[in-house]
Amino acid sequence: MKKKRIIVISSLSRSLVNFRLDLLKNLINQGYDVIALAPDQNETVIDTLNSIGVSFRTFSLERTGFSFISDMKTVRSLRKLYLELQPTYIFAYTAKPVIYGNLAKLGLNIPSLSWITGLGFYGLDSNGLKDKVAKSIMTLLYKVAFKRNDIILFQNIDDVDFFKKKKILKKQRYRVTPGSGINLDTYSYSEPTTDIVKFIFVGRLIKSKGIRLFIEAAKILKTRYDKVEFIVAGGLDLENPDAIQKEEIELLKEKNTIRYLGYVDNVIDLVKKSSVFVLPSTYREGVPRSILEALSTGRPIITTDNVGCRETVVKDYNGVLIKKDDLVELVSAMCFFCDNRSLIIEYGKNSRKMAENKFDVKIVNNIVSECLKSL
């Protein structure tokens, strides 16, 4: 019997291995013929995908911004692949693959499963005419792209409500996944260090991810405690006007305010050498992957009472939720762990329990499998 073929569409090849490898393996084990698409060619990624039985193809995509010409090129590129590969299903994740992956199948009898992994820019309050126009275009494209027989996955109920409010989600079926899930074996538990309280931030160094708030809190805590350290891992986004600049980072390093490690491919060992994970994000997240990794490795969490982030913390159990952009609350949360070091271990164990009970990647894989069967 001919295998059912599924095309998985991503906006960056590295994400297929970093975030979707367990899912791809599960699809292969279920007997699907899996073909992964990305706009860039990364030989290491391609080798990894091929080693588990996943084929790889490229397609045309501008990852940022909107351009009628380049976006129509994306639709044509994907449609050409659909006609060539004749997939049984399409599975796209992140905004552009979801929108253009579905637009490309119009007129073709191909059911799709789409994963909204966070709204980002689309979910933020509009500032100016340009933003409003861009978001109006996105709303229209989403409405045109989704068909009644498709299924849409979300990572939190706030995003479901947002799509309903925009009248994008009408009669389509949908499910909510616990984020992207986390491999509990890969991200195994280790006891946090408490002799020196090491706060770690992992993410892009832009204001909306909370890096500036983290730095200001570090400056304050450095004057209050001796045995405390602040670790930052993440790439510099130099073209983003909201980003920390290289000169600023170098100055912070010279003053011994933070220990900056730059972009790190594999952060497991780094997180395991820390005490408390901090992500004071104001960004409209799905469920941040970095927090899931910290939960699974057994770290208490300090994050914002914000879409996607709040799902990862239970008060007085595994962490502290703070208000967005509230330096006083962030400093207070950090001081709480400095003053109650035994709770770092207790909260860390509870984080691991939460990862096991709520965020296990097997739960996510089962939801995806059930959705594909119902298509």
Distance CA 8, CA 20 (A): 10
CATH superfamily of the domain spanning 197-358: Glycogen Phosphorylase B; (3.40.50.2000)
Least confident range from 55-64, 239-248, 322-331, 352-361: namely: 239-248
Share of the chain above pLDDT 70, in %: 98
Residues of the chain by 3-state class (helix, strand, coil), percent to 5: 45, 20, 40
Q: Of how many residues is the chain composed?
A: 375
Over 90: is that where the pLDDT of 171 sits? no
Alpha helix positions (H), 107-210: 129-145, 157-165
Q: Where are the alpha helices (DSSP H) in 86-128?
A: 95-103
Least confident range from 10-24, 164-178, 240-254: namely 240-254
Residue type at position 301: I
- Sheet with 276-279, edge to edge strand ranges: 259-260, 228-233, 197-202, 276-279, 301-304, 319-322
Residue 246's pLDDT is 82
What is the C-alpha separation between 154 and 375, in angstroms, rounded?
17
**Do the two domains 5-181+360-374 and 197-358 of this chain adopt the same fold?**
yes
Q: Which residues contact 121 (CB under 8 A, 6 or more apart)?
A: 131, 134, 135
With a cut of 90, say whether residue 216 has pLDDT above it.
yes
Q: What does the pLDDT read at residue 240?
A: 74
Mean predicted confidence (pLDDT) in 268-279: 95
State how far the Cα of 241 lies from the Cα of 13, in Å rounded to an integer. 26
Tokens of 369: 């499998």
Predicted local confidence at residue 65, as pLDDT: 66
Highest-scoring range by mean pLDDT, 33-37, 136-140, 143-147, 307-311: 33-37
Residues 6+ apart with CB under 8 A from 130: none
How many whole angstroms separate alpha carbon 12 and alpha carbon 236? 18
Four-residue CA torsion sign, 198, 204, 207, 212:
positive
112-118-120-124 Cα dihedral, nearest 10 degrees: 110
126 band by pLDDT with thresholds 50, 70 and 90:
low
Per-residue pLDDT for 242 more than 80? no
Angle between helices 211-222 and 327-339 (to 10 degrees): 50
Which of the four CATH numbers 2.60.40.10, 3.40.190.10, 1.10.1060.10, 3.40.50.2000 does domain 5-181+360-374 have?
Answer: 3.40.50.2000
Per-residue pLDDT reduced to its tens digit, 288-315: 999 999 999 999 999 999 999 999 999 9
Q: What is the pLDDT at residue 42? A: 95
What pLDDT does 373 receive?
Answer: 93
Answer yes or no: is pLDDT of 234 > 70: yes
DSSP-based three-state secondary structure for 217 = helix
Q: Which long-range contacts (CB under 8 A, 24 or more apart) does 369-372 make?
A: 369/26, 369/30, 370/175, 371/113, 371/151, 371/153, 371/173, 371/175, 372/6, 372/89, 372/91, 372/113
Per-residue pLDDT tens digits for 51-75:
999 999 999 998 766 777 889 999 9
Q: Which of 128-132, 231-235, 307-311, 369-373 has the lowest mean pLDDT?
A: 128-132
User: Where are the strands (E) in the chain, listed by range?
Assistant: 5-9, 33-38, 55-58, 89-93, 112-116, 151-154, 173-176, 197-202, 228-233, 259-260, 276-279, 301-304, 319-322
pLDDT attached to residue 352 = 98
Domain extent listing, the chain: 5-181+360-374, 197-358
How far apart, in Å, do the first and last CA atoms of the chain sit? 19
pTM score, whole prediction: 0.91
Mean pLDDT, to the nearest integer, of 254-283? Answer: 90
Evaluate if residue 342 carries a pLDDT over 70. yes
